[in-house]
Amino acid sequence: MEALLLDLAVAKRFDAFALALETTVADNETLVVVGESGAGKSTLLRLVAGLERPDRGRIAVGSRIYFDSGSKVDLPPWRRRTGYVAQDHALFPHLTVFDNVAFGLRAAGRSPFDILTRVTDALVRLDVGDLGERRPAEISGGQAQRVALARVLVLDPDVLLLDEPLAALDLRTRAQVRGVLRTVLATLPSPCATLFVTHDPLEAMVFGDRIAALEDGQVTQIGSREELLARPRSPYVAAFLGINMFRGRIVSRDGGIVRIRTAPDGGELSAVDPGAGGAEVVAIVHPREITLFRQAPGGSAQNTYVGVITELVPEPPHGERVRVALATQPPLVAEVTDRAVLQLDLREGLQVTAMFKATGVTVFR
């Protein structure tokens, strides 16, 4: 049982939408916040950092209250102990890498010896120990992002706020920095809760002890990655996780199998009868449940669809699994191995048959 660290309950209105979130993040836990751009992810981090003010609510870390609209507490950013890493790293261009990392310690009035040892240690920990004398303009994007991490970690923050820390990097660098970041988050020396904002499903799976989906400022689902995978509660979450999710209604029942008509596409699928209840249901088909054929084999699968391949997307990190989007009714996404792609000679525009069993469909209300 971990002690609660970050206690968050905030609301803020904007012209276009209202942001509202209530959750807690424990010591050394990472809550990944996913959502489309404009959903309020960055704003959430800025509220915790003190760069923006909630209309109402409470932000506390342990016994330290950052913000409380009730008792009119509002600590300025420099008195909160947050480590905020922006997407574009925002390293000070006029300072060397060393001085960038030393900035917070100097602002806190630490001794030169303390600063030297801590900064050196932080730079080495992030594998940029030899860059101390360089200027931000003289290092690569991946190095800059690591320096930005060192700059906040050297201060032992209570809360780590990472705003799409890998988004600005190219694919190869991203994989490297992702590895470094994983190690760092796993070996934080002091208690620290992490809020990690991303729109990359892989990052959400890799980093998220828990995942919160933010849609138009509202949390539509929050839970462990297993919970989200098993029961995505909104089409966005399902699509984000790469799951086929359909809203529909049961139109017929026959021997333990139900027929569901999906909306809005009007397709149909068979699933195991979920038992008594309303007709409105949600059906989920994991992409791995779907098998693809060049020719329809004519077998026992209850769900058979013919359609054209609209997209082939190799899955990060190495592409040994490939996501195949199909123009079927309803539209499906299958996930196959790269070998299957070669054997079947799958390519965009090719017509294939997709099959999955009724038992491969998860139905809930």
Partner 1 sequence: MKLLVVRVALSAAVATLLCILALPMISLLVRLSPRELLHQLAQPVVLTALGLSLETSIATTALVIVLGLPVAYLLATKEFTGKRVLQTLVEIPIVLPPTVAGVGLLLAFGRAGLAGGALKALGIELPFTTLAVVMAQVFVATPFFISAATAGIASVERRYTEAAATLGATPGYGFFRVLLPLALPSVLAGAAMSWARALGEFGATITFAGNLPGRTQTMPLAVYTALQNDLAAAVALSVLLVILSFTILLGLRFAPWGAAVGGAPARPRGR
The contact set with partner 1 (CB under 8 A) reads 49-51, 76-80, 82-84, 86, 88, 90, 92-94, 103-104, 106-108, 151-152, 155
The tokens for 334 are 């299958």
CB of 155 to partner 1, least distance (A): 7
Q: CB nearer to partner 1: give 82 or 362.
A: 82
Q: CB nearer to partner 1: give 151 or 174.
A: 151
CB of 361 to partner 1, least distance (A): 47
Q: CB nearer to partner 1: give 163 or 215.
A: 163
Sheet of 257-263, strands arranged across: 268-272, 257-263, 244-254, 280-285, 361-364
CB of 351 to partner 1, least distance (A): 50
Q: CB nearer to partner 1: give 75 or 239.
A: 75
Q: CB nearer to partner 1: give 51 or 327.
A: 51
CB of 86 to partner 1, least distance (A): 6
Amino acid at 167: A
CB of 128 to partner 1, least distance (A): 17
